[in-house]
């Protein structure tokens, strides 16, 4: 359908005006009458309407319209609507829901949460920024999940927690000792060694009432973590398979009716060499604030802590947190003076510890026979 613009209307009005003007010019006086005749020439009516005054008025009005100087009302009641126009008949009732969707024409994104990808009606939706995780449960509640808990649960890929704790029940005076049950400073080895294990009790054996098997965890010559389960033979020496550069934890895996190791269990270098770890009688696990970051892993130190006690004289201790990379250069990372009691130090920004680095706590005391406990917490991240 052709569009009628204001310019077209103006042209039409102007043309009409010109014709009427021409008609007026051809009039001889202001008293002419208009005769209406039929098809055979008979006058049917005579009207005296074409006066000069009337024509002048008409011409003035037409001129205004032709010049577009006069605003005219426009009605759209009779104008046709385009197809699909939002007429009242096509509106829904008040408060209705509106759904906008082009899913039929848009391919579904890979991994989109379609019904086929759901396993049950009890999934949790997780929103995470890599630090803390928010979960939306099935009842619609928003829950915040602590990152440490998520790591402990194994929910953060490539992350784990290492919680090391130890005890030295007999630190004497100013002689610096490591916080572990073996006493003295810890004997780190420069090369992988063959090891052996024995107990101080004959009940710690394969069919005894004490510990029957133990699990040893440490590092091989390449700083790769290795684990071995060993069957005890009481006070007799049992050779441990392979060679070990570091050992940092040992625990009772199975036991007889006693439920725990009956005697002191010692892991040492073969042929009665240096002791590398001990499990105190009745403890079921080593107590040693000593650890080495495995190859391919980066550690992030979160915190460390310590307590001290002695009788009858209260002790005053100096606690040192050391690291030593594989280059052999010792680094004092933190130091804390401790009176009788306890301290806990949290690193607001965890400090980074590279692979193959030894970490341990040492202490001195103002009095002999000081019982010192301490440990540290590390996040381990696969490189």
Confidence of residue 147 (pLDDT cuts 50, 70, 90): confident
CA distance 198 to 234: 6
Residue 85: its pLDDT value, please? 74
DSSP code, position 107: P
CA distance 214 to 234: 12
CA distance 253 to 245: 22
| Residues 287-310: tens digit of each pLDDT | 999 999 999 999 999 999 999 999
| Residues 221-231: tens digit of each pLDDT | 999 999 999 99
| pLDDT of residue 124 exceeding 80 | no
| pLDDT of residue 135 exceeding 70 | no
Residue 21: its pLDDT value, please? 59
User: pTM here?
Assistant: 0.65
CA distance 84 to 355: 69
Which segments of 200-289 are extended strands (E)?
211-219, 225-231, 238-244, 246-255, 265-269, 275-279
Report which of residues 249 and 18 the model is more confident about: 249
Residue 139: its pLDDT value, please? 59
* Over residues 78-83, mean pLDDT: 71
CA distance 111 to 169: 57
* Over residues 63-85, mean pLDDT: 65
């Amino acid at each position: 359908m052709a569009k009628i613009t204001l310019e077209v209307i103006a042209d039409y009005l102007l043309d009409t005006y010109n014709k009427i003007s021409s008609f007026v010019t051809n009039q001889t006086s202001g008293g002419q009458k208009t005769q209406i005749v039929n098809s055979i020439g008979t006058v049917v009516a005579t009207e005296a309407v074409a006066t000069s005054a009337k024509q002048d008025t008409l011409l003035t009005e037409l001129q205004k319209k032709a010049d577009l100087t006069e605003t005219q009302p426009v009605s759209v009641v009779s104008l046709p609507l385009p197809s699909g126009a939002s007429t009242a008949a096509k509106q829904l009732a008040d408060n209705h829901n509106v759904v906008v969707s082009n899913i039929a024409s848009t391919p579904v994104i890979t991994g989109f949460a379609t019904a086929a990808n759901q396993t049950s009606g009890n999934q949790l939706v997780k929103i995470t920024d890599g630090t803390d995780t928010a979960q939306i449960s099935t009842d619609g509640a928003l829950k915040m999940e602590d990152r440490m808990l998520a790591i402990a649960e194994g929910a953060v890929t490539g992350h784990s927690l290492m919680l090391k704790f130890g005890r030295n029940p007999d630190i004497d005076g100013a002689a610096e000792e490591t916080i572990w049950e073996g006493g003295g400073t810890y004997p780190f080895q420069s090369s992988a060694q063959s090891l052996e294990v024995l107990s101080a009790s004959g009940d710690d054996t394969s069919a005894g009432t004490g510990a029957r098997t133990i699990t040893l965890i440490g590092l091989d010559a390449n700083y790769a973590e290795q684990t071995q389960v060993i069957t005890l033979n009481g006070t007799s020496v049992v050779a441990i398979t392979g060679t070990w550069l570091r050992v940092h934890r040992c625990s009772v895996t199975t036991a007889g009716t006693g439920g725990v190791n009956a005697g002191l269990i010692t892991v040492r270098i073969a042929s009665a060499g240096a002791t590398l770890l001990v499990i105190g009688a009745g403890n079921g696990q080593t107590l040693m604030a000593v650890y080495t970051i495995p190859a391919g892993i980066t550690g992030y130190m979160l915190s460390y802590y310590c307590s001290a006690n002695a009788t009858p004289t209260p002790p005053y201790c100096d606690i040192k947190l050391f690291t030593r990379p594989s280059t052999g250069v010792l680094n004092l990372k933190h130091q804390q003076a401790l009176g009788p009691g306890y301290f806990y130090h949290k690193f607001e920004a965890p400090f980074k510890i590279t692979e193959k680095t030894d970490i341990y706590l040492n202490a001195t005391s103002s009095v002999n026979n000081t019982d010192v406990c301490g440990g540290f917490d590390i996040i381990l991240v696969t490189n």
